[in-house]
Amino acid sequence: MSAVDDLIAAGRALVDAGLSPGSSGNVSVRDGDRLLMTGTGTRLGALRPDDVAVLDLDGVALGGARPSKEVALHVAMYARNPAHTAVVHVHSPSTVALSCLEPWAPHSAVPPLTPYTLMRVGQVPLLGFVPPGDPRMGALITDCPHPFRAALLANHGAVVSGDDLEGAVDSTVELEEACRIALLTHGRERRLIAAEHVRAITDRWGTPWSETPSLS
């Protein structure tokens, strides 16, 4: 399949997973020296080739559809994780809900409750709030002191990068589930994965994790 076909398939997968209500969210893929990104106002479950914007690696539009107003978010994620070739941004229910709460720890809004999130995503810092489309959105990504491949945007949703589109989509699905579990257990006496096991898992899978504080 072409990169456009892959982008269309990723959009459908996100909608099928219940992670992109209405026309919310956007997806991009790096294709050589250009970015392909879902256009503004498009529904990810009904993408067509002419709904795809073509940009250079700095986010400057080259053709195709009008790009999403959140281009800066995607460009910053590629700059942060240069080996990654895909970025997903969603307003999925559990990621939005958890992004409205105070974070579990400075380096991760999501506590270490299941090994699968640690394997697929690692730590998930909560970034500050700026209005959607604000150019400062990119600075939220670049200025974060913690390594990450997924983050929550305060009162907004999630952004995830991956080796490829399939990986980015899978990680986004895993993050939504992790946020749902965090919400279900919020305010209760939780049993977290011990710090030594967190370190062993993230080291084994190559996912980012900073030192775990003594929090519940």
Mode of pairing for the β-strands spanning 126-127 and 150-153:
parallel
* Number of alpha helices (DSSP H) and beta strands (DSSP E) in the chain: 7, 8
Element (H, E) at 115: helix 115-120
116 noted as active-site residue: yes
Nearest in space to 157 (alpha carbons), one of 91, 72, 88: 91
In whole angstroms, how far apart are CA 206 and each of 87, 172, 200?
18, 17, 10
CB burial readout 22-38, b (16+ within 10 A) else e: eebbbbbbbeeeebbbb
Q: Measured over all CA atoms, what is the biggest interatomic distance in the chain, rounded to whole angstroms?
A: 53
By CB atoms closer than 10 A (0-12, 13-18, 19+), residue 134 is middle
Question: 37 by DSSP, 3-state: which?
Answer: strand
70 noted as active-site residue: yes
Rounded distance, CA 157 to CA 154, Å?
Answer: 7
Which residue is catalytic, options 70, 78, 174, 176? 70
Which residue is catalytic, options 78, 102, 116, 174? 116
- Which residues are catalytic, by number? 70, 116
